[in-house]
Structure 1
């Protein structure tokens, strides 16, 4: 699915959020590896579950054609600096919801990029009759949890000892969801 691009100017940085296009694939392949190496908040370590240019082209094409998927990118000075995805489900019993994920280069944290990705995704979900958005967040990512709660997400559960980080310790994953009011 596609959305109209939006322009933002926050703390002296101008950026655009728009739908991903197949020409973004090479930059996304490189960017994903870099983001994974900058934080332990994501599932992967740097280079794990690598997606090459062709893989991203296929993913972007599928997301563009699928009415329950949304793939967004953030651009600063013609360079992709972050991305988010909402992925829907084919199974009828799960077709009312999408999973949200986001990644932004560390040098661009604090400029509202993740928040604006999520706001755009929420608006898209609400406009397309998606009843639930779900996400997983590492328990130590307190800023993200506060943001998600401000935007209507609630804590639904905890996956105990879900991830082992570089310090050798196990950490919990917080399961969060935002439900659109369902009319009966």
Structure 2
């Protein structure tokens, strides 16, 4: 699905949010590796489960054509600085749901970019009748959990000892959902 571009200005940073297009593919491939290496909030380490530019082109094309998928990018000064994806489930019993994921370059944290990607995704989901949005978040990512709660997400469960981070310790993953039905 494609959504209309929106522009924002926060503390001197001008950025826009728009649907991803095939011309973004190479930059997305590089961006994903960089973001994965900047924080342990992501599921992957830098370079793991690598998606090439061609792989991103295919993903963008598929998401653009599928009604219950949405691929957004955040852009500042013609540079991709983050993205989010919503992936709908196409089995009848789960057709009311979509999974949300987001990542932002660390230097752009605190500008409300994740909030606007989430707000845009939820408005899109509401407009097409998706009544449940789900996501997974690392338990130590308190600011993300608080943001999701402000948007109506509730903790549905905990995946205990789900991830091992660089300190060698196990961490839980919080499963959250927002239901509007």
Shorter chain as denominator, the TM-score bin is over 0.9
Once residues 9 and 83 of structure 2 are traced to their aligned partners in structure 1, the CA distance between those partners, rounded to angstroms, is: 18
2:148 match: secondary structure: helix
Structure 1 unaligned runs (5+)? none
After superposition, give the CA deviation of every residue in 1:58-97 in whole Å (9 maximum; x if it has no partner).
0000000000000000000000000000001121111110
What is aligned with 2:128?
128
Q: In the aligned structure 2, how far is the partner of 1:65 from the partner of 1:96?
A: 18
Q: Quick one: distance in 2 between partners of 1:28 and 1:133?
A: 24
Task: Write the mapping of 1:73-112 to structure 2, written as runs, cut at 5 A.
Answer: 73-112=73-112
**In the aligned structure 2, how far is the partner of 1:162 from the partner of 1:88?**
24
- Secondary structure at the residue paired with 2:158? strand
Distance 1:91 1:135 in 2: 18
The Cα shift of 1:109 comes to 0.2
CA offsets per residue over residues 147-172 of structure 1, 9 Å max, x none? 00001100000000000000000000
Which residue of structure 1 lines up, in the alignment, with residue 165 of structure 2?
Answer: 165
Q: What is the rounded CA distance, in whole Å, between the counterparts of 1:34 and 1:72 in structure 2?
A: 18
- 1:44 and 2:48 correspond: no
Q: How is 1:62-77 mapped onto 2 (pairs within 5 angstroms)?
A: 62-77=62-77
The corresponding residue for 1:57 is 57
Secondary structure of the corresponding residue to residue 68 of structure 2: coil
Gaps of 5+ in 2: none
Q: Which of structure 1's runs of 4+ aligned residues deviate more than 3 A?
A: none
Deviations 1:117-168 (Å, cap 9, x if unpaired)? Answer: 0000000000010010000000000000000000110000000000000000
| Correspondence 1:112-151 to 2 at 5 A | 112-151=112-151
Distance in structure 1 (CA, Å) of the matches to 2:129 and 2:91: 16
- Could you state the TM-score of these two structures normalised by the residue count of structure 2? 0.99
- Please report the TM-score for the alignment, with normalisation by the length of structure 1: 0.98
In the aligned structure 2, how far is the partner of 1:94 from the partner of 1:20? 25
Pair 1:22-2:22 in alignment: yes
